[in-house]
Amino acid sequence: MLTHLASPVTVNWGITARCNFVCSHCFSRLDRSPELSGDDARRVVDILAAQGVMFLNYGTGEPLLRGDLFPLTEYAVGKGMKVTMNSNGSLIGPAAADRIREAGFHSVGISIDSADPGTHDGFRRMPGSFEKAVGAARLLRQRGIPLSVSSVVCRVNHRDFPALVSLAKELGAHTIDLHNFKCSGMGGLNKERLDLSPEEWKGFYEAAVPLRRSEKGIDIAFDDPILSLLGEEEQGKLVAGSVCGKLSLYIRPDGEITPCGFIPVTIGHILKDDFGKVWNDSKVLAHLRTKAAAGKCGGCAKFSSCLGGCTARAYAVHGAWDAPDPHCWLGD
């Protein structure tokens, strides 16, 4: 099947850069860009809905800090979009959980990085945040809102994931997203302390992938193109390599469009440029869709399936789209 989509399937939208946490790994904590007005935010929804974007995911800062979150979501849901968000859960009490259900959220991701409260609170640099996140997850499930647990795998938790998966199951999550650490934003500043070596990443995946196969009742998602190094293709992924610019795009709080949240390269503006043209004609996106094997990727038998791995990591470390993924353990 030839896969060029008429528009992204998913748009990740930083509706605000504001956050009440200062997490050590956050890609957007250094982002000081102003957020769009309510009217402009609705125009963004109009544009994305007209383009047939199926999923709209709020991320970046804490979405619940945005005052018009619920009317904006109702507006997007009314346009036929499936709206999801990632939240640290700290602002989700019973009333907010009720509004989340009423607004029609398709699913809500709560960030929980460890089943150990001290580890989670330390990583999130917010005492009591574990308790609030778990409490938020329970409130959402009590209201029948589909829940995912979102975790960033790094040095503080890479051996603890079985307990984390068990916690996510106990909370009633349909999916646990074990995101790999990205060295963007604060993550770039704390790379030495938080990132794993390529061999450690290999060890993590060799342990975690069998759990994904054996675990029942919850989907364990990695969304990491270097999984193909283990012969583990993401089922139903449709594209090789990173999905950024192939299935998804990112919109910053100020409306600038980038291939993904971890790639700070602007390719247009959602309100100033023709979104369809950006998607179809951007030279940056064209490059990401047709990466060339560079460095140790040259001649590597895995390149056709991993396409050099995560482009965001490669760009952050090497400043080049085609550079090998720094997490890759082959050929070192």
Is there binding between residue 209 and other proteins (CB under 8 A)?
no
Interaction between residue 278 and other proteins (CB under 8 A): no
Least gap, CB of 323 to other proteins (angstroms):
27
Q: Which is nearer to other proteins, 176 or 229 (CB)?
A: 176
Cα(220)–Cα(224) distance, rounded to whole angstroms? 12
Q: Do residues 19 and 61 lie in contact, with contact meaning Cβ atoms separated by under 8 Å? A: yes
Binding range to other proteins, per CB under 8 A, among 195-203, 234-242, 283-291, 305-313:
234-242
- Structure-token pair, residue 240: 């090789």
**Residue nearer to other proteins on the CB measure, 174 or 269:** 174
Cα-only R_g, the chain: 19
Q: Give the total of residues touching other proteins (CB under 8 A).
A: 21
In this chain, which of 43, 79, 82, 99 binds other proteins, going by CB under 8 A?
82
Structure tokens given for 38:
């309510």
Placement of tokens 């038998």 in the chain? 301
- Least distance (Å) from other proteins to the CB of residue 240? 13
Q: What's the min distance (Å) between Cβ of 82 and other proteins?
A: 6
Going by C-alpha positions, the residue among 104, 157, 107 that lies closest to residue 130 is 157
Say whether residue 42 binds other proteins (CB under 8 A): no
Which of 247, 265, 294, 317 is close enough to bind other proteins by CB under 8 A? Answer: 247
Q: Does 1 bind other proteins (CB under 8 A)?
A: yes
Q: How far is the CB of 79 from other proteins (least distance, A)?
A: 13
236 binds other proteins (CB under 8 A): yes
CA distances (Å), 272 to each of 16, 30, 268, in order? 19, 24, 8
Q: Provide φ and ψ at 149, rounded to 5°.
A: -110, 130
Return the bridge partners of 150, or none. 111, 177
CA dihedral sign, ordered 323, 326, 328, 330: positive
Question: What is the Cα–Cα distance from 232 to 96, expressed in whole angstroms?
Answer: 39
- Residue 104 in contact with other proteins, rule: CB under 8 A: no
- Segment contacting other proteins by CB under 8 A, of 136-144, 158-166, 232-240, 296-304: 232-240
DSSP-assigned beta bridge partners for residue 268: 257
When the beta carbons of 17 and 220 are compared against other proteins, the nearer one is 220
Under the criterion CB under 8 A, does residue 9 sit at the interface with other proteins? yes
Task: Say whether residue 238 binds other proteins (CB under 8 A).
Answer: yes
Structure tokens at 102: 């009423």
CB of 220: closest distance to other proteins in angstroms?
11
Q: Out of 42, 237, 287, 318, which residue is the one contacting other proteins (CB under 8 A)? A: 237
Smallest distance, Å, CB 150 to other proteins? 13
Bridging pattern class, strands 55-60 and 10-16: parallel
The single residue among 32, 235, 272, 299 that binds other proteins, judged by CB under 8 A, is 235
User: Contact between 305 and other proteins (CB under 8 A)?
Assistant: no
> Binder to other proteins among 47, 77, 196, 221 (CB under 8 A)?
221
d(CA 229, CA 275): 34
Backbone phi, psi, residue 217, to 5°: 90, 0
Which residue lies nearer to other proteins by CB, 109 or 264?
109
**Rounded (10°) angle between helices 129-142 and 94-103:** 50
DSSP state of 215: -
Cα–chain-centroid distance for residue 192? 21
Please give the residue ranges that form the binding site for other proteins (CB under 8 A): 1-7, 9, 52, 54-55, 82, 174-175, 219, 221, 235-238, 247
